[in-house]
Structure 1
């Protein structure tokens, strides 16, 4: 198995509400079949897929999938970018779980959840600067 992630799929109950949330934060969806929403990322994609259909595809009860047991992280270029993005969360329909603040290891971060509880960490890590204009991330920098 190669060490990479190609697609992160979030099982959602209301695809329109969750899609509107991400689009309110500035994301742009790509063309997909009905009932699927996908946002291309840098070398990866995040997909929104109906929770019941995802459970059926896997062959489990929807309750078995749970939610909120992991976080998706996005590193930004500065503390100011973290603050600006976090300020967009609640007007877009999400919930700020932890206001941006200094972290013991020298960074700056906050947490929010989308309308269905998927948790994001938004961070500035001065020890892992993003690469150029594309914003590629590598632990420890490039």
Structure 2
């Protein structure tokens, strides 16, 4: 058996706000759209992102919905240029995201920055080298 990640589910406080961020702000395509649940496409060859109401997502998993702070998870988008990193960072901020760490050269020779979506999920945007 080969394990694959087909969909990354994010529990969000406001599905419509999250949908606007990912679709209108970052250009993702809508794959499914239901009350309380939206699944967006990140592009060919990539996993999809499901946006599910926070409380409903916790209930679905049988866990408590309370919790805050860093969850030890970040989503990564790897590009081939510094300009592409800067473009994604600008788009995320314009769409209502927060720049957590401005894009800058890294010690290892690459270039990267972090933003968070409106629900606080971290995205690292980086060059491959």
Q: For the residues of structure 2 that align with 1:31 and 1:49, how far apart are their CA atoms?
A: 11
Matched, 1:50 2:58: no
User: Which of these residues, 53, 69, 74, is aligned with residue 71 of structure 1?
Assistant: 74
Deviating above 4 A after TM superposition, structure 1's stretches of 4 or more consecutive aligned residues are none
- 1:88-99 counterparts in 2 under 5 A? 88-99=91-102
| Structure 1 equivalent of residue 122 of structure 2 | 119
Structure 2, gaps ≥5 residues long: none
| Structure 2 equivalent of residue 12 of structure 1 | 12
1:59-78 C-alpha deviation (Å, 9 max, x unpaired): 111015x4642100010121
Q: For the residues of structure 2 that align with 1:19 and 1:77, how far apart are their CA atoms?
A: 27
Paired residue secondary structure (1:63): coil
Q: For the residues of structure 1 that align with 2:122 and 2:91, how far apart are their CA atoms?
A: 15
Matched, 1:103 2:106: yes
Paired residue secondary structure (1:81): helix
Relative to its length, the structure with more strand (as a share) is 2
**For the aligned residues, what is the CA RMSD?**
1.6
| Structure 2 equivalent of residue 28 of structure 1 | 29
* Cα pair distance change 1:32/1:19, threshold 3 Å: closer
Structure 1, gaps ≥5 residues long: 127-142
Question: How many residues of Structure 1 are paired with residues of Structure 2 in the alignment?
Answer: 125
Q: For the residues of structure 1 that align with 2:99 and 2:126, how far apart are their CA atoms?
A: 14
Say if 2:32 and 2:40, in contact at 8 Å, map to a contact too: no
Paired residue secondary structure (1:29): strand
Q: For the residues of structure 2 that align with 1:20 and 1:82, how far apart are their CA atoms?
A: 21
Give the TM-score normalised by structure 1. Answer: 0.81
